Structure 1
């Protein structure tokens, strides 16, 4: 059985290949009406994309719009790897972590 590599150990080229494969699988899952499978694959795409980004471009205390959720904003408290920890504005007040690929200025 082949063991998959962690995104953190992949090269940029490998990550881009993985993203392409996952997007194709997600497209097929969506066409077949496999909603849960589609959601899982979309999350994997976002995780892989996060490893292509520079966490230093995201600053604690700043607000970022959440990708795919217009009008929803996220305030970063701290970063841990490619995850931004903080709170959604107008959310329930619980701390959560989002991959930095879901955040945009």
Structure 2
């Protein structure tokens, strides 16, 4: 028995630093998965894979890159009905303020 293929929206986030946040805006309840390239490949082959995320019931949601490297983000409707529009925005972590000495 072959596994059923399903459609998904893919965002290649390229290289990202640990701590960067990805903000995902959705038009409906959907699955959101943040994955390494190896896990993304397993996902596309409908094999067991690991990811950060899960079912997003509200929008927007935020996921934080757990470690520096290449990342992929997928939005799919597996287990849900209908269609979901999505968009993403990369949010850089806030830097610490630099204090200057008064003269």
Report the TM-score, using the length of structure 2 for normalisation: 0.26
User: Of the two structures, which has the highest relative contact order with CA contacts closer than 8 Å and spacing of 6 or more?
Assistant: 2
Structure (1 or 2) with the greater helix fraction? 1
TM-score norm. by structure 1 comes to 0.26
Between Structure 1 and Structure 2, whose CA radius of gyration is higher?
A: 2
